[in-house]
Amino acid sequence: MEGNPVFVGRSIPNDLLETLPTALKLQAMKNLNHPVLTVIQPNLAATPPALRYYDPELQIAWNLEPCDRERLERAQRRAKELHKAYLRSLTALAPLMSKRTFSLFSNPNEPLFDSDLLEFSFGDLISHAKKRTRRARLDTAVKASFRSFDENTLHTLEYKGVATLNVNLPSERWFASGRDRIDCLLSHELTPAYARPMQHTFLFVSGATISLTFKRVRWETGRIRSY
């Protein structure tokens, strides 16, 4: 059953489906009368794996009231160790991208941290959308645009040879702020992948995640003009 959705002929509120274990979902389905086709178990492969070099303890410590200074300092030390290990792991992927793109991924200042996701799009003819080209080779690609925390820099990432793409927007957000948005980027990791050479995973403040595997990536930056 793993890796495939399970369909049953009953319906149950979506908010209950998101919180019940699969066995309880099935039991709840039996108690309903109107037949509606419902997916009760998502594809497990569509859930991005946990980030290898990210520990949520840092965000938890930052948001504690009152502040636990000792716990925060301990979490900061751990975060620095993990980030150093991540930067070391990136060297194996350097031959798969341009020097400019690698320099951005390996920048210790983390240029994407706390940035806002402006746009995330995918399709078979992304680069030809404005050209209205009729004859072009279909090739699934992804494009993501981020605005830096200081709102001065536009980061654009383009992925080619995309094999998988998974997006998860949880109904229950990490912080009860009442904001219906993806919110700023907490962490992201570029790592080796099994089906494709690379995998890029994003984690946002809301708890939303995006993960994709691909062959090639290009990262460009530009200045955002103020009017």
Domain edges within the chain: 6-44, 97-223
pLDDT at 202 over 50: yes
Point out the least confidently predicted range of 43-47, 76-80, 190-194: 43-47
What does the mean pLDDT of the chain come to?
A: 78
pLDDT at 43 over 80: no
Tokens of 23: 């066995």
For residue 175, the model assigns a pLDDT of 54
Q: How confident is the model at residue 148 (pLDDT cuts 50, 70, 90)?
A: very high
Q: How far is the C-alpha of 147 from the C-alpha of 154, rounded, in Å?
A: 5
Q: How confident is the model at residue 182 (pLDDT cuts 50, 70, 90)?
A: confident
Better pLDDT: 57 or 175: 57
Helix, strand, coil proportions of the chain in percent (round to 5)? 25, 30, 45
For residue 172, the model assigns a pLDDT of 64
pLDDT at 178 over 50: yes
Contact 204, 211 (CB under 8 A): no
Segment 198-203 long-range contacts (CB within 8 Å, at least 24 positions apart): 198/93, 198/96, 200/157, 200/159, 201/48, 201/49, 201/51, 202/117, 203/51, 203/54
Question: What digits encode the pLDDT tens for the residues 111-138?
Answer: 999 999 999 999 988 766 665 656 667 8
Better pLDDT: 48 or 84: 84
Residues 124-134 as b/e (b if ≥16 CB within 10 A, e otherwise) read eebeeeeeeee
Average the pLDDT over 4-13 and give the result. 37
Nearest to 221 by CA among 159, 154, 143, 150: 154
Q: How far is the C-alpha of 94 from the C-alpha of 169, rounded, in Å?
A: 31
Helix (H) or strand (E) holding 156: strand 153-160
Question: What digits encode the pLDDT tens for the residues 85-111?
Answer: 999 999 999 999 999 999 999 999 999
Q: How far is the C-alpha of 86 from the C-alpha of 225, rounded, in Å?
A: 33
Phi-psi region of 178 (alpha: psi -120 to 50; beta: other; left: phi over 0): left
pLDDT at 44 over 70: no
Q: In angstroms, how far is CA 31 from the centroid of its own chain?
A: 36
Better pLDDT: 188 or 63: 188
For residue 51, the model assigns a pLDDT of 86
For residue 86, the model assigns a pLDDT of 96
For residue 23, the model assigns a pLDDT of 46
For residue 63, the model assigns a pLDDT of 80
For residue 41, the model assigns a pLDDT of 40
Q: Which residues contact 75 (CB under 8 A, 6 or more apart)?
A: 55, 57, 58, 60, 61, 62
Helix (H, G, I), strand (E, B) or coil at 172: coil
- Residues present in the chain in total: 227
- Please report, rounded to a whole number, the percentage of residues in the chain having pLDDT higher than 70: 69
Contact 190, 93 (CB under 8 A): yes
For residue 57, the model assigns a pLDDT of 87
